[in-house]
Structure 1
Amino acid sequence: MASKTYNVAIVGYGMSAKVFHIPLVLALPSDFKLYGIVQRSPKPDDDASKDQPHAKHWRSADEVYADPDVDVVVVTSIPETHHAMCKAALEAGKHVIVEKPFVPTAKEADDLLAIAKRSGKLLTVYQNRRWDSDYLTLRHVLDSGSLGEIVEFETHYDRYRPDPPPDTWKTRDAPGHGSIFDLGTHTIDQVYHLFGLPQKVTGFVTTQRRKPVQGGAHDSHTLILQYPNALMVTVKAAIVSPETEQLHFWVRGTTGSFKKFGVDVQEDQLKAGLRPGDEEFGVEPESLHGSLTTMDGEGEMERRVYETVGPPKTYVEFYRVFAKALRGEGEVPVRAEEARDCLRIIEAAFLSSREGRTVDL
């Protein structure tokens, strides 16, 4: 018997839907069908019905919940709407993929976990950067034992954008907005994926721009996460970082260190029109390879280029794993409980920054 092809409805038609979801759904035609898209206000140069004429098109998410042929709802709307939309979709009997940040608070996350359990439907959070090629390479380095016992781990998402940005929903001070929810949810999730919950959190949530958006959200953050065995993790996103090469990972252990500059290429490739299955999709150039420093046979430090692990498992893997979960062949790609725990870290960071103290988890 042929396996079921699941009908997918995308709620929202912004960059997230166009770049991170629709191309991946279309890349797995035996598992998923792009069934429909919710776009509230089409424009002549931004019209989902013209871009995807074979899909259904709605103006309201309520139409999606009421459609019995929808199997999976992908929520790509702004963060403060995530809880209500996920709740409605789950209670309508739909499986749900929700963009990061999951929801603005851990309490809302717990509420959705309970609703998903009652409904018997799958709920997962789109943490695609677990399939960044450099993160997979980093895991390969850690698994090899080359670094010995890890004592310090730094993850950066720094940029140089000192001028006030355009006024968009991302810049406004609202629940789930700001750098720690935008970029921080990626890096915190990777750290959690590697090490779990920290014991202590010290947070500095701030605005580095000298001319910030009036009434805007924070644009930068630094978190110090303390783990057992004296492991210290730094999670950082700076908006004023004038560098030609931005540091991404720096990991130090008792027998070696790993350093990596630059970020994964998939986002830029998807924006440029490259698609999963294209020959160069997800392949990092040599200029982005990391460096590994270890002891040689004579006890001297030796540094070498560490090639990115390939062939890459790209962002398509998220949807491939989700398809297996729908068929009962394993767990969802990112458990909602894990995303909830990352929100606990974020909430501890805000409390720490506000009160000027380290917070115990």
Structure 2
Amino acid sequence: MNSELLRVGLIGYGFAGQTFHAPLIAGVPGLVLAAVASRDAAKVKADFPDAQVDADPYALLQRPELDLVVIASPNDSHHPLARAALAAGRHVVVDKPFTLTLAQARELEALAAQRGRLLSVFHNRRWDGDFLTLRALLAAGTLGRVVHVESRFDRYRPQVRARWRETAQPGAGLWFDLAPHLLDQALQLFGTPRAMRVDRAALRDAAQADDWFCARLRYQRLEVTLSASTLAAAPGPRFVVHGTAGSWVKHGLDAQEDALKSGARPAWPHGPDWGRDGGRSVVTRAVGEALVDEPLPLQPGRYGDYYAGIRDALRGTAPNPVPPDQAVAVMALLGAGLG
């Protein structure tokens, strides 16, 4: 597979499939979106007229020409579809959350190893520009020893919408939707916490699933608070980081999701305007007896790096960008938060 075109089959053409996976796959040289499993063929053909469309996802798995299958269907279907794809000999990418339970995640990890297939999970928020900026800031030691981190996704969506993510079905709710991103980022930065406490609630009128959560992760001499809300008309900062040598505060969400929702199709490598984040980013440090605010430029976001990494991993020239053991670690914390 060193130079040949890799043919990708995408299962699901709802929000995740249409907004994130399809345009990112199509934008990476060496990958082609060859087939899509969807009950709405016209919707797929309007965007990708050359893609084959199967109404049945299991029919797509039998297409011999596919090298990789991407699963972007509802959360409760991730495990059975990924298991079937691996059994069919396909390499597999699964949208987050990996599965509904830790046991399911471990089963898929073992099956992929047994079949010698690549298995990866789409933790795309590792390539948010503000998260990349934070990783660099911590690596440089600018804030000294970090003692407190707040990371949140605040949105204002007071109306419960008619979509599976907001029903009472397994895998629905904000904890399964956004906590995988926040937990994965915390694990990437700080490793496994010594303890975790999670509060979840359904706060909106007519809410059927949790639409607010707060998770508190405790490390040695470090506290990390992860939260998300659908009723934050005045959102708090995306990141607040305090250390022994200063603080960093960043406002606003990464711009890539909104760009993709608006119909942008990013080419990889990304150009200079892709992923540019205009949010306020300030480092505060002591200079003599005074505290001084210094703007910190934000790195651009790079979602395309994930699928470029998948391509290179399949060609044998790079590691899996999100190996299954890292996704299993996220599932361990996600499952613990349901208790």
Match of 1:339 in 2: 327
- Maintained 8 Å contact 2:17/2:73: no
Cα distance in 2, alignment partners of residues 13 and 161 from structure 1: 23
Q: How does 1:298-309 map to 2 (within 5 A)?
A: 298-309=288-299
Cα distance in 1, alignment partners of residues 78 and 186 from structure 2: 23
Match of 1:329 in 2: 317
Say how many residue pairs are matched: 336
- Maintained 8 Å contact 1:155/1:250: yes
Match of 1:40 in 2: 39
- Report the 3-state secondary structure (helix = DSSP H, G, I; strand = E; otherwise coil) of the residue aligned with 1:237: strand
Cα distance in 1, alignment partners of residues 120 and 335 from structure 2: 20
- Report the 3-state secondary structure (helix = DSSP H, G, I; strand = E; otherwise coil) of the residue aligned with 2:337: helix
Distance apart, 1:273 and its partner CA: 2.3
Structure-2 change in CA distance of 1:313 and 1:247 (3 Å) = closer
Structure-2 change in CA distance of 1:201 and 1:54 (3 Å) = same
TM-score, normalised via structure 2 length: 0.95
Q: Structure 2 unaligned runs (5+)?
A: none
Match of 1:238 in 2: 229
- Maintained 8 Å contact 1:208/1:238: no
Match of 2:202 in 1: 207
Cα distance in 2, alignment partners of residues 233 and 240 from structure 1: 22
Cα distance in 1, alignment partners of residues 55 and 177 from structure 2: 26
Cα distance in 1, alignment partners of residues 224 and 216 from structure 2: 6
Q: How does 1:244-323 map to 2 (within 5 A)?
A: 245-277=235-267, 280-285=273-278, 288-296=279-287, 298-309=288-299, 312-323=300-311
Cα distance in 1, alignment partners of residues 120 and 23 from structure 2: 18
Q: Structure 1: which amino acid aligns with 2:309?
A: V
Deviations 1:22-47 (A, max 9, x none): 11111123x111111111244xxx52
Cα distance in 1, alignment partners of residues 296 and 245 from structure 2: 16
Q: Structure 1 unaligned runs (5+)?
A: 352-361
Q: How does 1:118-197 map to 2 (within 5 A)?
A: 118-162=114-158, 164-197=159-192
Q: Structure 2: which amino acid aligns with 1:281?
A: W
TM-score, normalised via structure 1 length: 0.89
- Maintained 8 Å contact 1:220/1:239: yes
Percent of aligned pairs with the same amino acid: 35
- Maintained 8 Å contact 1:159/1:246: no
Distance apart, 1:174 and its partner CA: 2.2
Distance apart, 1:2 and its partner CA: 6.5
Q: Structure 2: which amino acid aligns with 1:335?
A: P
1:103 to 2:103 alignment: no
- Maintained 8 Å contact 1:8/1:70: yes
- Maintained 8 Å contact 2:254/2:301: no
Distance apart, 1:218 and its partner CA: 0.8
Match of 2:216 in 1: 224
Distance apart, 1:344 and its partner CA: 1.2
Cα distance in 2, alignment partners of residues 85 and 57 from structure 1: 17
Distance apart, 1:341 and its partner CA: 1.2
Cα distance in 2, alignment partners of residues 123 and 72 from structure 1: 10
Deviations 1:98-147 (A, max 9, x none): 11111011110000001101110000000111000111111111111111
- Report the 3-state secondary structure (helix = DSSP H, G, I; strand = E; otherwise coil) of the residue aligned with 1:66: coil
Match of 2:12 in 1: 12
Distance apart, 1:289 and its partner CA: 3.2
Distance apart, 1:279 and its partner CA: 5.1
- Maintained 8 Å contact 1:75/1:96: yes
Distance apart, 1:60 and its partner CA: 1.0
